[in-house]
Structure 1
């Protein structure tokens, strides 16, 4: 019984120090190092390295969870051949996230089903991996939240929260026309982020039709002026990416 005391005490201490990987792996690694003839310094170094790697993984997972992506999608799983007009080299360059450090913007344009959301999530996931804070929302949901925050007198706090993201992804702009109040609130938020943080917008509408969403040529012009000052544009016109993949799945023979 007394031989268990040091182990129990060590386990309690590691929990207090919040070293779960060390707690989980120290015995197994100790046996391995003993077989290999590894000294105590290299054993400890390996153990701490395992903790650091696992800690970074957990931090990334928390960033991804905080971003509220609708699904976990990476650029590795995107079929660039299905959208030949999309500049693959530009997308891969954007995945390095240097544009976010420069506080620039990205706009992805194309009809429904061409993978705009997939690419946006993929770039957002890459930013999380780089240690950057990311927020994901649809334009309709964002406007709804801002109107609700305004009515509850917490709009300033909400705007500060949105402005704090290194990258804010606004998906599906143009799917739903905005009210005058909603358009003004969205413009105000994008103006607050101008040259302070990066914004990625996906839209099914070309720029000359954005007035249909915002309801005002003046407001649309002012918003585009800010968004396109430092911007990379992803043109994603083509056949529906989702429809093509659905057809391909159905065409596969049943094993």
Structure 2
């Protein structure tokens, strides 16, 4: 098509003068149709505030669209966290990093940023019971979910049971595929229970499906040298350790109970 025959841009739509009640009714109807609940709720109040501040039409439009986007982000964060199925709420701000004196400064803040998840790197939390492993696992998983990532928290025993049931129902490939698509799998209580050979092999399928592609964050109260008791087959245990430690972030939470120390600190504060 030559420049001379190009179609002219459409003429601006005519602006219809509406009364305030008619304008409000039109806004509500349009917002329902376009699924803009925040604008539908806040439009009138924001319009009045904008008029008082003498904002331009463009500035008002920017303000109200930003409000809708912010509210959608907040709802998305809530949905992602809910989908992750965390057993309780834990935040990094509630964790006393001084309890881990050997942890380099800034490590937790760096992990909370999620770059390691984008790279598909593993995270392993090792330490005795009560030392904060699950707190960190949930807190970092929550941060990832709030950033819009697909996250799922599950204990090792629950995951193995789910895989066994799926295999019995001939749905294993579907379940493995669902776990493979997660951005972050938070696997808690690795090493707490002894797995039979079938359960260990099914769990290995999940780990292999995510290897160097999508992150697994796991927490265990057993050192790597004792994982053979969980996976029964020494070769399988070695393969699991190899996959979960390659390019991994490994945090030792130690032997001193973070939970017990926190409880004692609260009691001392109450007494004083």
CA offsets 1:82-116 (integer angstroms, 9 cap, x no match): 23234442222111111111111010000000111
Match of 2:91 in 1: 74
SS at match of 1:132: coil
Work out whether residues 104 and 198 of structure 1, in 8 Å CA contact, stay in contact via their aligned partners in 2.
yes
Q: TM-score, normalised by structure 2?
A: 0.89
Contact persistence 1:104–1:230 (CA under 8 A): yes
* 1:16 partnered with 2:33: yes
What does the per-residue CA deviation read over 1:109-166, in whole Å, with 9 as the maximum and x for residues that have no partner? Answer: 0000011111111111221232221111010110011111111111110000000001
Aligned residues of 1:83 and 1:241 also touching (Cα < 8 A): no
Q: How many residues align?
A: 254
Unmatched tracts of structure 1, length 5 or more? none
Decide which of 156, 160, 168 is 1:143's aligned counterpart: 160
- State the alpha-carbon separation in 1 of the partners of residues 59 and 103 from structure 2: 49
| CA RMSD, 1 decimal | 1.6
Alignment partner of 1:95: what SS?
helix
Structure 2 residue aligned with 1:179: 196
Partners in 2 of 1:155 and 1:221 — Cα distance?
A: 24
Q: CA deviation at 1:66?
A: 0.8
What is the deviation of 1:248? 1.7
Please give the alpha-carbon distance, in whole angstroms, between the structure 2 residues aligned to 1:3 and 1:170.
Answer: 56
**Alignment partners' CA distance in 1, 2:266 and 2:106:** 27
- In the other structure, the counterpart of 1:64 is 81
Q: Tell me the CA shift for residue 219 of structure 1.
A: 0.5
Any runs of at least 4 consecutive aligned residues in structure 1 with deviations exceeding 6 A, and if so which?
none
Seen in structure 2, the aligned counterparts of structure 1 residues 186 and 88 have a Cα distance that, compared at 3 Å, is farther
Corresponding residue for residue 95 of structure 1: 112
Quick check: 2:119–2:213 contact (8 Å CA) kept in 1?
no
Q: 1: distance between equivalents of 2:257 and 2:32?
A: 51
Choose from 231, 243, 252 the match for 2:248.
231
Q: Larger radius of gyration, structure 1 or 2?
A: 2
CA distance in 1, matches of 2:127, 2:20: 67
1:55 lines up with 2:75 in the alignment: no
- Cα deviation per residue 1:45-72 (whole Å; 9 max; x = unaligned)? 1000111111111111111111111122
Q: Which runs of 5+ in 2 are unaligned?
A: 1-18
1:46 pairs with 47, 59, 63, which one? 63
2:59 aligned counterpart, secondary structure: helix
Q: Is contact 1:83–1:238 with CA below 8 Å preserved after alignment? A: no
Cα distance between partner residues in 1 of 2:102 and 2:152? 27
Distance across 2 between alignment mates of 1:151 and 1:157: 13
Q: TM-score, normalised by structure 1?
A: 0.94
Residue among 226, 233, 237 paired with 1:216:
233
